[in-house]
Amino acid sequence: MTIQPITNKIAPVTTNKQSNSNDNTPKNLKAKVALTSAIGVATSLALIAKSQGFSLKPSSIKKTPIKDWAIFKITDENRPDEKIMKFGWKEIMGIGLGSVAGGLTGGALFDKKENMTHKFQEAVNQLIGDITIPLSFVALPTMAYKKFEDLALKKTKHTGLQNISKYIQSNKVLKILCPTLISGSSLAAGIIAGNKVSNKLNEHFTGKKTERGIRITDFAPHIDDVCLAITLMASNSPLGDIVSKFVPIALCVAGIETGTANPEKREK
C-alpha cells in the first residue's frame, strides 16, 4: 500500500484590514456624489430664485438678512405680504433635473467609467419613474380635489357635494387627512407605473432586459414625491408649509442614487 504524502493547503489569511479595504470606497463615493448633487440642486434653486425676482448679486445678498434669503422663504403662509419662493411644475422638475445632473457629474468624476451605463439607466428611473410619472399621477386628483374644495365657497346645483365639501373644510383633521389619502393612493399608482415605464425605456435604449423592481430602499427617493404630493394637496395647511421646505433636500436623493448606481445595486 502506497502512502500518499499529506499536504496541508493553508488558505491565505485575510486580515480585517484586507477584508474591509473596499469599505471606504462606497462611503467616499456617496459623500462626493452627495456634494455634486447638492450643487446641482443649489444651481437650480438659484435660477428659480432669479426668475422669481430674488437678486443673486453678491452685494445684495450680503445686505439681505439671512432669514430673508430665497432658500429660507419657501412657501411661508405666516408671512403672506412678503415675497416668497414658490415651487410649481417647472420649478420641481428643474430641481430634480439639477440633482440628477449633479449626481451624474459626480459619478463620472469619482467612479469607474464602466459604471456609467448603469448611472444613465438610474437617471431614467429617477427622472421618469420617481419624479415625472408619480407627480403626474398626483396632478389630476389634485385638480379634481381643488375643485371639490371650491364647491364650499361657490354657488352650485350640486348641493350634496357642496355640503360634504363644507363639512370637510370645517373639520381640521379631515381637511388634512382627505387630500393626504387621495395623494397617497395616487402616488402609489404613479410609483408602480413609473417603475414599469422607466424599465421599458431602459430596455429600449440598451437592448437588454431590465428588471429593476421597486425595492425598500426606493422609499427614500420617493420622499420627494411624498413631499410634492402633500405640498400640492395641502398647500394652504401648516403641514404643506412645513413639508414644502424639505423638497430641495428630498430631491437630492435622486442625484445620489444616480451617481452611486452600479451593476450590484441595480440587480438587487
| pLDDT-above-90 percentage for the chain | 22
Span 214-228, mean pLDDT?
A: 58
- 229 pLDDT tier (thresholds 50, 70, 90): low
Q: Name the average pLDDT for the chain.
A: 77
pTM: 0.73
Span 72-81, mean pLDDT?
A: 52
pLDDT at 106: 97
Greatest CA span in the chain, whole angstroms? 107
Query: Is 60 exceeded by the pLDDT of residue 16?
Result: no
Q: Tell which residue, 92, 91, 98, 69, has the closest CA to residue 82.
A: 69
- 23 pLDDT tier (thresholds 50, 70, 90): very low
Q: Are 119 and 261 in contact (CB under 8 A)?
A: yes
Angle in degrees, 0-180, between the axes of helices 223-233 and 172-206, rounded to the nearest 10: 140
Per-residue model confidence as pLDDT tens digits over 102-138: 999 999 999 999 999 999 999 998 899 888 888 888 7
Q: Which residue has the higher pLDDT, 147 or 255?
A: 255
pLDDT at 44: 95
**Buried (b) or exposed (e) across 95-125, using 16+ Cβ within 10 A?**
bbbbbbbbbbbbbeebbeeebebbbbbbbbb
C-alpha distances out from residue 165 to 18, 76, 77, 152, 162, Å? 65, 25, 23, 5, 5
pLDDT at 76: 45
Query: Is 60 exceeded by the pLDDT of residue 217?
Result: no
Q: Tell which residue, 111, 91, 122, has the closest CA to residue 36.
A: 111
- 34 pLDDT tier (thresholds 50, 70, 90): very high
pLDDT at 30: 93
pLDDT at 119: 96
pLDDT at 120: 95
Query: Is 90 exceeded by the pLDDT of residue 38?
Result: yes
C-alpha distances out from residue 134 to 20, 79, 130, Å? 39, 31, 6
